[in-house]
Amino acid sequence: MAEFAHSSAEDSALVRASQRGDTDAFEELVARHRDKIYARAFSMMRNEEEAIDLSQEAWVKGWQRLVQFQGDSSFATWITRIVINLCLDELRKQKRRRTESIEEMDEESGGVERQMPVVTTNPTERLERGELRQRIDQALAQMSNEHRTVLVLHEFEEMEYKEIAKAMDCSIGTVMSRLFYARRKLASLLADLKQ
């Protein structure tokens, strides 16, 4: 009976119940949004195991910080921001562990992409949805973490340049440059894959 009530309740009611310590209500929230949270973690990390771990960590943090949730945004948006921040932290840790300089590599690659001829074909018109998805997925996998992240935050999370700069701890100019490079790289990869 209680389970049925949870499954038919709105997110806001489940959040209020969770804030009172109802873990069954929180489990329902997890069940509803787990695919989206996992998908966002996967889009940033490109690693299934890491995405699962980080998404679960996000849910635990969400539970711990639930009292701070005031309903200014939707619950889904709020928990998505938590998983994004966890992914950004993890990517920073991974970057520190890497010996190569991503910044230098980015500048070199970006220079090439800026001079690339404009792609005039529209991939959404030529490809089936499933195929388009698959090709974009492959293209995202080929990008560096920095370029993929800026693309995810801007295109999927609709964050402004300054918000991304703050989240990624870089300048607005760097965000613009990375975003431009990532878009052009994606356009070229989709064009290549089509041929």
Partner 1 sequence: MTEEQQLKVQAFLDGELPESEGQEVAAWLASDSDASALLGELKNTRAALKEFDSPATAGVKLPESREFYWSKIKREIERTTPVAAPAPKASLFHWFRRVLMPLGTLAALALVAVVAIHSFSGGQHPMPMAANVMLGDPGALTYRDDAQDMTVVWLSYPAENKFAETSSGDTLSPK
Residues that bind partner 1 (CB under 8 A): 23, 26-27, 30-31, 34-36, 38-39, 42-43, 48, 52, 55-56, 59-60, 63-64, 114, 118-124, 129-130, 132-133, 136-137, 151, 154-156, 160-161, 176-177, 179-180, 183-184, 186-187, 190
Cβ proximity to partner 1: between 145 and 185 the closer is: 185
* Least distance from partner 1 to the Cβ atom of residue 187, Å: 5
The SS3 assignment for 157 reads coil
Closer CB to partner 1, 95 or 136, in the complex: 136
Comparing CB distances to partner 1, the nearer of 102 and 116 is 116
Instruction: Compute the least distance from the CB of residue 95 to partner 1, in Å.
Output: 24
Query: For residues 61 and 95, which CB has a smaller minimum distance to partner 1 in the complex?
Result: 61
**Closest by CA position to 60, among listed 49, 48, 52:** 52
Tokens of 88: 């950004």
Cβ neighbours of residue 33 closer than 8 Å, sequence gap 6 or more: 75, 76, 79
**What is each CA distance from 190 to 20, 165, 179, in whole angstroms?**
49, 27, 16
Minimum CB–partner distance for residue 24 and partner 1 (Å): 10
DSSP string spanning 66-96? GGG--SSS-HHHHHHHHHHHHHHHHHHHHHH
Nearer to partner 1, 16 or 163 (CB): 163
Shortest approach of partner 1 to residue 87 CB, angstroms? 14
Alpha-carbon distance 39 to 31, whole Å? 14
